[in-house]
A = this chain, B = another copy of it.
Amino acid sequence: MESNYNSSFPKVVIVGAGFGGIELANNLKNKEVDVLLIDKHNYHTFQPLMYQVATGSLEADSIAFSVRKNYEGRKNFRFRIAEVKKINTDKNSIETTVGDIDYDYLVLATGSTTNFFGDKEIEQHALPMKSIPEALNLRSAILQNLETALLMPTQEEREPYLTFVLVGAGPTGVELSGSIAELRNFVLHKDYPELQKSEMKVYLVDFLPKVLSSMSEQASKKAQEFLENMGVEVLTGVKVEKYDGEVISFEGGRKIKTKNVIWSAGVKGIVPEGFSKEQFAKGDRLTTDEINRVKGLNNVFAIGDVSSSVSEAMPKGLPGVAPVAIQQGKHLAKNILHLIKNEPTVNFKYNDQGSMATIGRNKAVVDLGKIKFQGFFAWLTWMFVHLVLLMGFRNKVVVFINWLGSYISYNGGTRLIINPFYKKPVKVADPVPEG
């Protein structure tokens, strides 16, 4: 039923309204193509600020933007809320929850989800944060455990509810542990005067020897210093062995009693059925060539986190960050138009503009090529960049007001529990595009 396109233009189907998919669709505006964008949600998610939703500093709508609103008045464009179940490359068609859809060019921009590296027990008990529903669920878990701690008569019984262990010291783990530490430092005594600050513990764990290992030595060191000053116990070079929902165990024998293990130790690509083993690279990503074409296919592409751009020039591949997806989306738009016109394509080259992470109030680390700085000015830079990148004028205003309010009051956010915490059933596979 989805084959009635508006025009006779080539059909470009984009799966996923993340950074890559949105940028690609934007760059196909007013071109002679018929664009169909698919996502399981009706909004684009600004993932870099998701941790603030999880700790209740921002509401979900501040970092989400309606896809339909973004493409209002756009010609030769359609959007469908759907999940892709299977791709039939031989028939140039995809099977979705809203029926079969034909394509001339297919672009998978489905992103990534949390990688528990096959440990079903950890997957069952640890909390992920790769989508807005997951971030809201994490918030409910954190707040409900504080509420439960209130009901426990002894410190021993309160301990697991007040102990937070973040596994994975990349930007997500660093930002989230900083944010939870600030919840303890600035908010706990106001919202929960019956609880003691000293009873609430925050751990940040990584099996690598340092935090923010993808950033400069300087950034890594300073970030750890900031975290420790805020009262986060940083455990590097430590490997998680087991977590059963009550106790997390590390190699070497150390154990921590906790109800709150938050897992940001890795991601894996979200790929629908229909690809062969040979088309996969490390981390369930699709192997792509220099123009983001999936190995062995002519008209199927993958961009962003779901694509593995390993090449001779880049043996380690590209990092799973927004700028890669954005640049690939923009670049692929041109190449698709070249392919349609039988013109030669241009190879993709990543322009690394640096990276940054915030740790807390007045504390951030920024690497811009050779320029590296940390502290208050880095924090201002971080805020400025994120406000600029955030989609939608209303969202920029609302986030700015929230940040200003938080900065003045030391007590921003609403910390609402709209839906109570639920345990996500653990599935064997999750072939779902992530918005």
Return the contact of A42 from the options B60, B65, B68, B143 (Cβ within 8 A).
B143
Q: How far is it, in angstroms, between the C-alpha of A411 and the C-alpha of B150 when the chains are bound?
A: 44
Residue A64 is within 8 A (CB to CB) of chain B in the complex: yes
What does the 1/0 interface line of A408-420 toward B look like (CB < 8 Å)? 0001001111110
Q: How far is it, in angstroms, between the C-alpha of A239 and the C-alpha of B133 when the chains are bound?
A: 40
Return the contact of A133 from the options B191, B415, B419 (Cβ within 8 A).
B419
Q: How far is it, in angstroms, between the C-alpha of A155 and the C-alpha of B269 when the chains are bound?
A: 40
Q: How far is it, in angstroms, between the C-alpha of A411 and the C-alpha of B72 when the chains are bound?
A: 11
Residue A281 is within 8 A (CB to CB) of chain B in the complex: no
A69 in contact with B415 (CB, 8 Å): yes
Q: A147-B81, A192-B68 are contacts. A60–B418 as well, Cβ < 8 Å?
A: yes
Residue A73 is within 8 A (CB to CB) of chain B in the complex: yes
Per assembly, the copies of the chain total 2
CB-CB under 8 A from A41, the residues of chain B are 416-417
Q: How far is it, in angstroms, between the C-alpha of A41 and the C-alpha of B147 when the chains are bound?
A: 12
Residue A194 is within 8 A (CB to CB) of chain B in the complex: yes
User: How far, in Å, is A55 (CB) from chain B's closest CB?
Assistant: 13
Return the contact of A418 from the options B136, B147, B150, B417 (Cβ within 8 A).
B136
B419 in contact with A419 (CB, 8 Å): yes
Q: How far is it, in angstroms, between the C-alpha of A414 and the C-alpha of B59 when the chains are bound?
A: 12
CB-CB under 8 A from A151, the residues of chain B are 1-2, 80, 98-99
Which residues of A, 59-75, contact B by the 8 Å Cβ criterion? 59-61, 64-66, 68-69, 72-73
A416 in contact with B147 (CB, 8 Å): no
Residue A203 is within 8 A (CB to CB) of chain B in the complex: no
30 contacts between A and B (CB under 8 A): A1-B151, A41-B416, A41-B417, A42-B415, A42-B416, A43-B417, A59-B59, A59-B60, A61-B414, A61-B416, A65-B414, A66-B191, A66-B416, A68-B190, A68-B192, A69-B414, A69-B415, A72-B190, A72-B191, A78-B194, A80-B147, A80-B150, A81-B147, A99-B151, A132-B418, A133-B418, A136-B418, A394-B402, A394-B405, A419-B419
